[in-house]
Amino acid sequence: MAVVDVLRPGFVQLRVMDMAQSLTHYRDRIGLDVVATGADGRVYLKADDEFDHHSIVLRPADTAGMDVCAFKVLDDAALDRLTDRLHAHGVVTQAIPAGEQLGVGRRVRFTAPTGHVFDLYADIERAPAGPMTDNPHVWRHEPRGMAPIRFDHVLLYGDDIDGAADLFTQCLGFRRVEEVETPDGTVLATFLSCSTKSHDIAFVRHAEKGKFHHCSFLLEDWNAIGRAADLMTRYEIPIDIGPTRHGISRGRTIYFFDPSGNRNEVFAGSYDHYPDHPRRVWSADQVGRAIFYYEGELNDRFMGVVT
């Protein structure tokens, strides 16, 4: 992994309108473990193969969407370096004290030009039942639901994706891995990585600021994607599209919705990206194949439904 200061996506906090239904969805159907419930009603969850305290936070609310997406950084010194880079870039930051989320240390918060809120943090408690480390079995307890390996990435819709990409590359050390461009060079979608993954975050150009498209969970393989589809059908989980494959990232995928209308993805397979690799570019007339490789076209719901 080409680690500089930002390690990986850490957690995403989602707004949900019915916590009981949401827990059935994220715990029983997707298969996340509930770690804790805060006094304010927020519920903290993680996937079986994640060491940190949580990666998904569900907050009771009247509207769906994303409150914040956070990235874990190398250490406290890295957090300070990144804060200085943000300030030099003209970005206003806010200090979030340790303990605002259960188990998480101090965070530095900023708003991207697309209107999305992001946190950076270095310290988080280990999960009480994380992956085994001594003569480890492949899992600590029998997998449940779709058996996610980890929270993988988010895709966000907003207006100034050029500014967001500049901020993430110039201040946080991300790289532009794959993009969709019009003939005049306008970027319609950008996929950014801080690791060797095909993307750790992605932005799509959209008229409104601050819109949430989906959060993605990594599954083991194509067979796991098929089993997830079986579960969605069995429990009447609304499917957006899939099972299918992306051209961008080459990932196998299904998009579906939680009870509040937040879009989720389960995802498996992709390519590795290293800092010396060239940027991959799709022309706008091929965007259907870029997003849905088999179908070769986009569906209206995928493009239009955001929270």
Is residue 291 a contact partner of residue 179, using CB atoms and an 8 Å limit? no
199 in catalytic set = yes
Structural domains for the chain: 6-121 (3.10.180.10), 150-304 (3.10.180.10)
**Catalytic residue (choose from 26, 44, 157, 255):** 255
Catalytic residue (one of 25, 199, 213, 273): 199
Task: Write down the number of H helices and E strands in the chain.
Answer: 6, 17
Name the nearest CA neighbour of 192 among 214, 170, 177.
177
> In this predicted structure, what is the pLDDT of residue 2?
46
pTM for the structure as a whole = 0.95
How do residues 49-88 score in pLDDT, each as one tens digit?
999 999 999 999 999 999 999 999 999 999 999 999 999 9
Q: Which of 54, 116, 153, 213 is catalytic?
A: 153
Q: What is the pLDDT of residue 305?
A: 78
Among this protein's residues, is 214 annotated catalytic? yes
- State residue 3's pLDDT score: 58
pLDDT of residue 1: 42
Residue 149: HSE in the Cβ half-sphere, 13 Å Cα cutoff: 13
**Is 255 part of the annotated catalytic residue set?**
yes
Q: Please state, in angstroms and rounded to a whole number, the distance separating the CA atoms of residues 56 and 298.
A: 28
* Omega before residue 60 within 30° of 0, cis: no
CA distance 121 to 126: 14
Q: Residue 84 is inside which H or E element, if any? A: helix 76-88
pLDDT of residue 23: 98
Closest to 118 (Cα-Cα) out of 8, 189, 265, 12: 12
Among the options 53, 54, 246, 273, which is catalytic?
246
Which regions of the chain are under pLDDT 50?
1-2
List the one residue out of 206, 213, 217, 250 whose CA is nearest residue 30. Answer: 217
Out of 25, 206, 265, 293, which one is annotated catalytic? 265
**In this predicted structure, what is the pLDDT of residue 290?**
86
Do 26 and 75 meet the contact criterion of CB atoms below 8 Å apart?
no
Average pLDDT score, the chain: 94
